[in-house]
Amino acid sequence: MMRIKALSRPFASNKAKRPAMPFSIFLCCACISLIVFAALTAQWISPYEYTQQDPLARFAAPFAMPDHLLGTDYLGRDVLSNLLAALQTTLAIALLGSLICAFIGISLGFTAAHLGGWADNLIMGFADAMSSVPFIIVALGVLAMFGSSPVLFIFLIGFASWERYARLTRGLVLSAKQEGYAEAAFIVGVPAQRVYLRHILPNIAGPLIVQFTINFPEIILLESGLSFLGLGIQPPATSLGLMVADGRNYLAIAWWLTALPGLVIVLTTLSISLLGDYLRDRFDARLR
């Protein structure tokens, strides 16, 4: 009996032991928390209105003036205030676009898995066609034809990468329908909509959340790229991509106008991407 207890102790301790979060992921979470806090409280922590101009303080370098911690631009506007406003705009557009993208992709994935047949082939064929064309080309054509408006821009951003959600959702739903809990629910006559929303969707939410974290930084880069090309956010509004575009003409004399918003874009997308990879490794049973 004593020998059995002794042999069982290592197994119990190994079972209770869980891998700790890597320090790099902890830094990513801290960076994301700081960025989200700055975006949510931009109106209260900004030292100035982001459109306020001070011609006498044009091109002030970072930390050169106590009133302008991160310097000023070519119109004397405070760079820190512009960064906070631009970060808020970029994250808001990326969040709304990501939610629209996830809603479209998940809905079409459920529809394809439920109907099957010609509807499944049509939806998946359309997804294959969308993935074969670079979306930025489609976005450039639509914005050049219809002009840039905030509502159109957000819905256009939300139409990017929906095919990834559709493929993932379709595969997960088809796999879940073969599980015992879903099959039993269908057998006893539970309506299909209730089975999908109350039983299947909560069980496949993990991979979909991971896909959201992977897709979110791509939408940030897409918004920044379109704004950089002049087809996204238009003045007097601001975004991180627009700040990079405004500062590119002054790289020789005011490097911070481009470097600081570019650094914020890199830190934001890198932190979210690393967190998404970590979550994918934790949720993927095959990798574990």
Residue 72 is assigned to a structural domain of this protein: yes
How high is the pLDDT of residue 284?
A: 58
Tokens 């914020």 map to which residue?
A: 264
Residue 110 is assigned to a structural domain of this protein: yes
Q: How confident is the model at residue 19 (pLDDT cuts 50, 70, 90)?
A: low
What is the span of the domain harbouring residue 213?
63-283
134: cis peptide before it, omega within 30°? no
Residue 69 is assigned to a structural domain of this protein: yes
Mean pLDDT across 86-94: 92
Q: Give Dmax (Cα) for the chain.
A: 86
Residue 73 is assigned to a structural domain of this protein: yes
Residue 81 is assigned to a structural domain of this protein: yes
How high is the pLDDT of residue 199?
A: 79
Return the DSSP state at 200. I
Residue 15 is assigned to a structural domain of this protein: no
**Minimal CA–CA distance to 220: which of 276, 147, 280?**
276
Token pair in block for residue 173: 């739903």
Domain count, the chain: 1
CATH number at residue 258: 1.10.3720.10
Residue 128 pLDDT > 90: no
Residue 49 is assigned to a structural domain of this protein: no
pLDDT, one tens digit per residue, over 236-245 is 888 999 999 9
Residue 16 is assigned to a structural domain of this protein: no
